[in-house]
Amino acid sequence: MTDNALLKRDRSLFIGGGWRASTGDERIHVTDPSTGLPLAELGGASAADVAAAVTAAVNAFPAWSRLPGRERARVLRDIADKLMGRREAIIDLLMRNNGKPRREAEIDASDAVATFAYYGDLAEALDKRQDTGVALPDPAHAGKTRYEPLGPVGMIVPWNFPMVTSAWKIAPALAAGCTIVIKTASFTPLAELIYGDIAAEIGLPAGVLNIITGGAAAGAALTADKRLRKLSFTGSNAVGSKVMGAAAQHVVPVSLELGGKSPIVVLGDAAVEDAVDLIMAGIFFNAGQMCSATSRLVIDRKIADKVMARLVEKTEAMKVDSPYADGAEMGPMTTQGQYRAVSKTFERAKADGLKCLTGGHVLQRDGFFVAPTIYDDVPTDNAVWREEIFGPVLAVRRFDTEEEAIALANDTEFGLAATVVGGDAAKAERIAREIEAGHIWVNTPQVPYVQSAWGGFKASGIGRELGPWGMDAFLGVKHITVPATK
């Protein structure tokens, strides 16, 4: 049973260390996607609320940024512990509000904990990186480098992995010494508001972390605030380019984690069962609502018939159901808008005469359920091959040569992720090196380890999250030259 206190939040803005009610008119209607029924209703931040949150972050910055990294590390580890303590509530909200099957919600909850624990370690290690010597050619001078937090930062996140995308921003920014205003996605704010509960419980200094609810208007107000020293955005390309435009107005750095149309390349010597499992996980996890979804299968003709037969068989055996139903493997689309967008894709594919091997329709039941879908021999100029669908829809093409495989894999404006599957590890890795993508899995499942880099080439974004790069994105490099000591 979902904890009612986590659904009924009359005061949904966490600003300056406490909960406040919105002063605006926007109402956020949160839905249970498994039923299509209302789940909660919250107030969205007004422009005045956004400004108050930024003021709180600005005021909190001097003290927070001056704390030694080891003290910020203690706070990050505390947050990790408190997240662990609320694990069941978080899992339940992700199942209820996102429609994630339990196993997937568990992965998200664990990822958030791991992210805070990891950046705790990096916060501590930051102290040792300060004042590193730089050899200068003039013996009269000595140089050193410091890494300074950029300042109060504005963050905007999407709805597909609420706890994870926000952890990937909040934890490294806190570790770096930045203060934060983060706007949750309007469809899925419930789980992320738990970060506010935790901040209050551990006594995080007021204004270090501010959380606001709201949609496009609140997001636009945040990106327009000149007092922010960086904008960090995860979401669609359409909105990402607006955020970049806003950042350009007052010349602040921007990190963008945007869309994808990632390939999974299956070579002729791949083990059939392994290939099928990796293909399915790459497109059906989170009902395909993943920026990194490997939504284009590029497969060696020699092995294609065998793999496709098994793929269709296993896809049709998948249990698509409410996360609370026994054995559910894939849940609904998280939003009604996404459900409609995927249904439109089905209609368009039908009109275009695409060869549908399985699925291609919504499920006739309450909630936002669609069938896992596979289109074969999709022309490279078709939308199913080119556009990010953000649903469980796979486009397939066969290849005869390695060059053709690489060309097909790179035949996209995006460059976020890729998977290569093959029996000859050296060959698979050689192909991985040729693919234009920021994160590539070779014969391994799509696990974005917090130690690794996350982000895209081409239109998939600017900058990298996770790993040391994730924290460096919130740090500015300062060089100091002093007289050399004799």
Q: Is 461 in the site for ligand NAD (CB under 6 A)?
A: yes
Nearer to ligand NAD, 78 or 225 (CB): 225
257 belongs to the catalytic site: yes
Nearer to ligand NAD, 22 or 65 (CB): 22
Q: Is 185 in the site for ligand NAD (CB under 6 A)?
A: yes
Please state at what angle helix 216-224 crosses helix 237-249, rounded to 10 degrees.
Answer: 30
H or E stretch covering 211: strand 209-212
Give CA–CA dist 282/268, Å, rounded.
19
* Min CB(92)–ligand NAD separation in Å: 22
Stretch that binds ligand NAD, among 205-213, 214-222, 302-310, 398-406 (CB under 6 A): 214-222
User: By beta-carbon distance, which residue lies closest to ligand NAD?
Assistant: 219
* Min CB(449)–ligand NAD separation in Å: 14
Q: Is 285 in the site for ligand NAD (CB under 6 A)?
A: no
Catalytic pick among 257, 316, 329, 356: 257
Residues 6 or more apart in contact with residue 472 via CB below 8 angstroms: 147
Q: Is 260 in the site for ligand NAD (CB under 6 A)?
A: yes
Task: Report which of 219, 276, 253 is spatially closest to residue 53, judged by C-alpha positions.
Answer: 219
Q: 131: phi > 0 → left, psi -120 to 50 → alpha, else beta; which? A: left
Give CA–CA dist 223/182, Å, rounded.
11
Q: Is 186 in the site for ligand NAD (CB under 6 A)?
A: yes
Q: Is 183 in the site for ligand NAD (CB under 6 A)?
A: yes
Q: Give the number of C-alpha atoms closer than 13 A to the C-alpha of residue 33, restricted to the C-beta side.
A: 32
The secondary structure of residue 191, as a DSSP letter, is T
Nearer to ligand NAD, 65 or 289 (CB): 289
Give CA–CA dist 24/12, Å, rounded.
12
47 burial level (CB within 10 Å; 0-12, 13-18, 19+)? middle
Please state at what angle helix 102-129 crosses helix 69-85, rounded to 10 degrees.
Answer: 170
Q: Is 94 in the site for ligand NAD (CB under 6 A)?
A: no
Cβ-count burial 248-272 (b if 16+ within 10 Å, e if not): eeeebbbbbbbbbbbbbbbbbebee
291 belongs to the catalytic site: yes
Q: Is 160 in the site for ligand NAD (CB under 6 A)?
A: yes
Instruction: Tell me the two tokens of residue 31.
Output: 């839905």
Nearer to ligand NAD, 147 or 233 (CB): 233
Q: Give the bridge partners for 461, in sequence order.
A: 257
* Min CB(336)–ligand NAD separation in Å: 12
Rg (CA), the chain: 23
Q: Is 65 in the site for ligand NAD (CB under 6 A)?
A: no
Catalytic pick among 291, 316, 388, 436: 291
Nearer to ligand NAD, 158 or 367 (CB): 158
Give CA–CA dist 102/86, Å, rounded.
15
Q: Is 294 in the site for ligand NAD (CB under 6 A)?
A: no
Tell me phi and psi for residue 462, to 5 degrees. -135, 125
Instruction: Tell me the two tokens of residue 373.
Output: 């879908």
Q: Is 104 in the site for ligand NAD (CB under 6 A)?
A: no
Instruction: Tell me the two tokens of residue 398.
Output: 């066969």
Tell me phi and psi for residue 6, to 5 degrees. -85, -15
Q: Is 165 in the site for ligand NAD (CB under 6 A)?
A: yes
Q: Is 189 in the site for ligand NAD (CB under 6 A)?
A: no
Give CA–CA dist 330/19, Å, rounded.
35
Nearer to ligand NAD, 275 or 291 (CB): 291
* Min CB(225)–ligand NAD separation in Å: 11
Q: Is 390 in the site for ligand NAD (CB under 6 A)?
A: yes
Q: Is 259 in the site for ligand NAD (CB under 6 A)?
A: yes
Nearer to ligand NAD, 93 or 258 (CB): 258
Nearer to ligand NAD, 145 or 236 (CB): 236
Stretch that binds ligand NAD, among 134-142, 154-162, 261-269, 313-321 (CB under 6 A): 154-162
Sole binder of ligand NAD in the list 215, 253, 423, 476 (CB under 6 A): 215
Q: Is 239 in the site for ligand NAD (CB under 6 A)?
A: yes
Give CA–CA dist 310/312, Å, rounded.
6
Binding residues for ligand NAD, per CB under 6 A? 156-160, 165, 183, 185-186, 215-216, 219-220, 223, 234-236, 239, 242-243, 257-260, 291, 388, 390, 416, 461
Just list the catalytic residues: 257, 291
